Amino acid sequence: MTRPFGERLAAAMDEHGPLCVGIDPHPGLLEAWGLSDDGAGVREFALRVMEATEGRLAAVKPQSALFERHGSRGVAALEEVVAAGRASGTLVIVDAKRGDIGSTMAGYADAYLRDGSPLAGDALTVSPFLGFGSLRPTVDAALGSGRGLFVLCLTSNPEGAGVQHARDADGTSVASRIAGEAALLNEGQDPMGSVGLVVGATIGDAAATTGTDLAAVNGPLLAPGVGAQGGGAAELAGVFGAARRQVLASSSRAVLAAGPDVSALRSAARTAADEVAAALR
């Protein structure tokens, strides 16, 4: 990879719109598509989504857990998604939310961010809640290989606020601290750095109330929750404000519900991309 992830993502968002489609083979969706809830069904589901979207969207985001639940055949299907994205030039964000310490975190970095690994897409989601410093192996591996990270920061689940909104003795919230650490890693990068944040599209005014300056991060902001989960134009504008051009909106169910027909999936993805572009650009 000759260019940093942040640069490649910015170009893809400008060309195709700021949309990422999740590849989430939930059992209910597999059933709705007439597919078996096993490795073969997951593979067919995932590759059909790739056929509909590759070369047409900024990124796709396979949810690793929904592949892993089928063991080696599911992981093999995830590897095929990564390979298909590489072949088509579509960025692949592996949504694995890894977070650990020391040699274990180094192992995750090796699996998901090393050149030559079949699971190494273009970026990886990670959890900083063992301390931002615990991410160092993945930071080094990502930046050293031209890949990116999306660090959990302000998530939409109700339980997240108890940790993410908490403040230290200086009055700085956990979310603000995470954003500040990402900003340091992205300092001076143009058009944006490669260490982004995960910020839910339906968190309302949480960025403001936690003192989290999203625009200052100078990195991509992955925004799950667009579409079926309630994140629309008004929510995106309210959550991200001046940081809107950094946002990569993520939609899963609203697009995947159009399947299994490839043409219908392609049309749904294009409509979603146009809608988020109108809201964010």
Tokens of 75: 């992981």
The single residue of 26, 73, 97, 253 carrying the catalytic annotation is 97
- pLDDT at 31 > cutoff 60: yes
Residue 133 has φ and ψ, to the nearest 5°, of -60, -25
Q: What is the mean pLDDT of residues 256-274?
A: 96
* Angstrom distances, CA of residue 51 to CA of 9, 74, 79, 158, 243: 20, 18, 15, 35, 31
Say what the pLDDT of residue 159 is.
Answer: 96
The mean predicted confidence, pLDDT, of the chain is 95
> What's the domain count of the chain?
1
Which of 160, 231, 228 has the alpha carbon at shortest distance from 201? Answer: 231
Q: Can you give the residue range of the structural domain that contains 32?
A: 5-280
Among the ranges given (65-79, 127-141, 224-238), the one the predictor scored with the smallest mean pLDDT: 224-238
CB contact set of 271 (below 8 Å; sequence gap of 6+): none
Alpha-carbon distance 270 to 34, whole Å? 24
CA dihedral 45, 236, 13, 61 (to 10 degrees): -30
Q: Is 97 a catalytic residue?
A: yes
Say what the pLDDT of residue 1 is.
Answer: 60
Q: What is the mean pLDDT of residues 268-275?
A: 94
Alpha-carbon distance 15 to 38, whole Å? 35
* More confident: 155 or 235: 155
Q: What is the mean pLDDT of residues 153-172?
A: 96
- pLDDT at 103 > cutoff 60: yes
Say what the pLDDT of residue 227 is.
Answer: 59
Alpha-carbon distance 172 to 178, whole Å? 10
Where residue 87 sits, what CATH number does that domain have?
Answer: 3.20.20.70
- The residues that bridge with 250 in the sheet, in sequence order, are 20
Alpha-carbon distance 252 to 269, whole Å? 9
Task: Annotate 153-184 with b (16+ C-beta within 10 A) or e (fewer).
Answer: bbbbeeebbeebbeeeeeeebbbbbbbbbbbe
Q: Percent of the chain having pLDDT more than 70?
A: 98
Residue 171 Ramachandran class (φ > 0 left, ψ -120 to 50 alpha, else beta): left
Residue-wise pLDDT tens digits, 205-259: 999 999 999 999 999 999 998 755 556 777 888 899 899 999 999 999 989 999 9
* Angstrom distances, CA of residue 99 to CA of 96, 102, 220, 272: 9, 10, 20, 31
- pLDDT at 2 > cutoff 90: no
